[in-house]
């Protein structure tokens, strides 16, 4: 497929097909038949889940989003200068609220040529493509509708020094082995002069972490429970959502937060699309997310295992969150 000409072009390509519609079904069949039931966190983010997550980001207990934004505000110019990037690839772009900080810095440095947002939502990709094409005259935008875990190979060839941004602490949702495997995949798409910009939540007082996932307004609980509505709607399941409760705790040994849904009473769930019946005992739990927290040593080790090295690490004064620049070794 030919690349769009640089210099103001806007194009969106979808790499989702009919097989991708099976992802939820496959994950539910796999996850609900395990000894410890679980679902991947990506299924939390339907339209309603995304709205709830946006609300979570504004809560006083939830520090990651606002802290990462403050770090980028303080250091975006330095990041642009250090990387010399002419294009920004953003994985899981969502509404791209922090993106403008990076694009502004690259524009001010006189290097900005192309923006590549990657997201599973076609609506989201089209919206951010049009938004930033209008905001930066002459900017080429090549939107990619796809799953960043599976479609890294569909990214265009670099237009020059590339900055791949994976923000929000999302890297923590991967278990250690999968995390390093994903980072190795990122290394392959950086290009010869590319850099990775990675947002990571940091190990800290467990009370601070647990409060961020157990907000007093109960928004995170709604967000977590929403995945049952997704399975009910998409796969004809009959989860009694009110019969589950939100649980979030910090695992001090693994240094990650776990979100779970706990059955408050015994029940049998039918998933019609899969011809599947699932038993839940009283107080049995369904894991919906892990979110690993990082030390500098853990980050360096994960990067090194993927053939990457830490170039610069920016953090806030309270060491709550970090934004790091890495490059291929």
Question: Which pair of tokens denotes residue 305?
Answer: 């295992």
Report pTM.
0.92
CATH number at residue 237: 3.40.50.150
Q: Which residues pair with 270 in a beta bridge?
A: 277
C-alpha distance from residue 49 to each of 46, 93, 223, 290 (Å): 5, 15, 6, 17
172 close to 40: Cβ distance less than 8 angstroms: no
pLDDT for 2 equals 38
Q: Find the Cα–Cα–Cα–Cα dihedral 163, 164, 168, 170, rounded to 10°.
A: -160
CB 245 within 8 A of CB 264: yes
Structure-token pair, residue 96:
């791209």
**Residue range 179-195: mean pLDDT, rounded:** 96
Q: Scan for tokens 């875990």, then name that residue.
A: 149
The mean predicted confidence, pLDDT, of the chain is: 93
Q: What is the pLDDT of residue 18?
A: 54
Q: How far is residue 33's CA from residue 39's CA, in Å, rounded to a whole number? A: 11
Q: Beta-carbon neighbour count of residue 208 at 10 Å?
A: 13
Please say if the pLDDT value at position 22 is more than 80. no
DSSP secondary structure of 97-131 = TTHHHHHHHHHHTT---EEEEEES-HHHHHHHHHH
- pLDDT at position 1 is 37
CB 277 within 8 A of CB 268: yes
Reported as a single tens digit per residue, the pLDDT across 123-158 is 889 999 999 999 999 999 999 998 888 889 999 999
Phi-psi region of 298 (alpha: psi -120 to 50; beta: other; left: phi over 0): alpha
Residue 149's pLDDT is 87
Instruction: Express each pLDDT in 296-324 by its tens digit.
Output: 999 999 999 999 999 999 999 999 999 99
Cα(201)–Cα(186) distance, rounded to whole angstroms? Answer: 19
pLDDT at 93 over 70: no
> For residue 48, with 0-12 CB atoms within 10 Å meaning exposed, 13-18 middle and 19 or more buried, which class applies?
middle
Beta strand 267-271 with 285-292: parallel, antiparallel or unpaired?
unpaired
pLDDT of residue 4: 44
Least confident of 70-79, 92-101, 255-264, 300-309: 92-101
pLDDT for 254 beyond 50: yes
Q: How many structural domains is the chain composed of?
A: 1
Rounded CA separation 262/281 (Å): 9
In the prediction, which pLDDT does 23 show? 85
Residue 3: pLDDT over 60: no
pLDDT of residue 5: 40
Burial group, residue 206, by CB count within 10 angstroms (0-12, 13-18, 19+): middle
Residues above pLDDT 90, as percent of the chain: 85
- Parent domain of 20: 1-329
- The two three-digit tokens of residue 92, written as one number: 């899981």
């Amino acid at each position: 497929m030919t690349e769009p000409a640089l210099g103001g072009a806007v194009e969106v390509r979808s790499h989702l097909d009919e097989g991708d519609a099976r992802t939820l079904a496959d994950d539910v069949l796999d996850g609900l038949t395990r000894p410890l039931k679980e679902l991947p966190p990506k299924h939390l983010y339907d339209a309603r889940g995304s709205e709830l997550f946006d609300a979570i980001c504004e809560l006083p207990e939830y520090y990651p989003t606002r802290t990462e934004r403050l770090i980028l505000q303080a250091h975006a110019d330095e990041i642009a200068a250090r990387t010399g990037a002419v294009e920004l690839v953003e994985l899981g772009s969502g509404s791209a609220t922090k993106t403008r900080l990076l694009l502004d810095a690259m524009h001010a440095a006189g290097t900005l040529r192309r923006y590549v947002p990657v997201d599973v939502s076609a609506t989201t990709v089209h919206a951010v493509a049009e938004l930033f094409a209008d905001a930066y005259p002459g900017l080429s935008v090549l939107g990619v509708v796809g799953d960043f875990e599976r479609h890294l190979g569909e990214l265009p060839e670099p237009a020059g020094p590339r900055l791949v941004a994976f923000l929000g602490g999302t890297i923590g949702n991967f278990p250690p082995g999968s995390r390093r495997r994903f980072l190795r995949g990122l290394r392959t798409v950086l290009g010869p002069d590319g850099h990775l910009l990675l947002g990571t939540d940091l190990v800290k007082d467990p009370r601070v972490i647990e409060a961020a996932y157990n907000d007093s307004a109960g928004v995170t609980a709604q967000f977590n429970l929403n995945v049952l509505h997704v399975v009910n709607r998409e796969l004809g399941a009959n989860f009694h959502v009110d019969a589950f409760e939100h649980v979030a705790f910090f695992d001090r040994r693994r240094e990650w937060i776990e979100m779970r849904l706990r059955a408050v009473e015994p029940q049998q769930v039918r998933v019609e699309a899969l011809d599947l019946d699932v038993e839940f005992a009283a107080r049995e739990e369904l894991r919906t997310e892990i979110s690993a927290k990082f030390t500098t040593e853990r980050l360096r080790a994960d990067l090194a295992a993927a053939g990457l090295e830490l170039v610069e690490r920016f953090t806030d004064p309270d060491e709550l969150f970090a934004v790091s620049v890495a490059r291929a070794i």
